[in-house]
Structure 1
């Protein structure tokens, strides 16, 4: 596969990069909430209850929850946010045309805590460099054909 994005894909790639930065931050935040929830659930045998008889937010044994089980909501929301994160990663991979291994590596950002924050900093310069290669190469290609 040729390296670098096509010149026609650059505007969509810039949009995908903005969406990626947002999804990386949000997915990373929910991943940290998920880790905290798992520590409560499997370490202390309690779930997070919202608006129950024990207060606005309470750590309650799972079988005693009568209000909103916030732990289940965190699980579900993180799952869907990770799907969105993967989708945006796929779009960037398709448009920027980097290696499949890098795609898989970036996909780990929604699974390993704090990695999405690292990628939120590291991926944009990489994508911008690929865009710069394309925009620098496009005028040179036009001069050759002229």
Structure 2
């Protein structure tokens, strides 16, 4: 008779910290994605139509992306992602629509890993 290795349950305090970090990451991933789409619109307006109406968007997106990086690294530390996974998650905030897709994938992974 062989025993199957089962993962030990995650302590409630750790699960709650992961849940909070995941929520912060998810919110910032969506906000970053939306501002990135606005940045694309701003670039089209600025370079395609010589219209500077959305000139504030690059600065706001830059700061939002900075906060996104902090939240992604915070989550990565709490769930112990590899450096590669952390870098891919960080880069996702720089490519239109990718932040939404990566957020979905990372959320599924973290929820499955920690039983959230």
**TM-score, normalised via structure 1 length:** 0.67
Structure 2 CA distance, aligned partners of 1:122 and 1:39? 29
- Farther off after superposition, 84-93 or 38-47: 38-47
2:61 matches 1:78: yes
Distance 2:45 2:20 in 1: 38
> Cα offset for 1:15?
0.2
Which of 7, 19, 38 is matched with 1:14 structurally?
19
Q: 2:52 aligns with which of 47, 53, 71?
A: 47
Q: Aligned equivalents of 1:14 and 1:88: distance in 2? A: 12
CA RMSD across the alignment: 1.7
Aligned to 2:114: 131
C-alpha distance in structure 2 between counterparts of 1:99 and 1:129, whole Å: 17
In structure 2, the residue matched to 1:114 is: 97
Structure number with larger C-alpha Rg: 1
Q: What is the count of residue pairs matched by the alignment?
A: 106
1:103 aligns with 86
Q: Which runs of 5+ in 2 are unaligned?
A: 1-9
Structure 1 unpaired stretches of 5+: 1-5, 49-69, 136-146
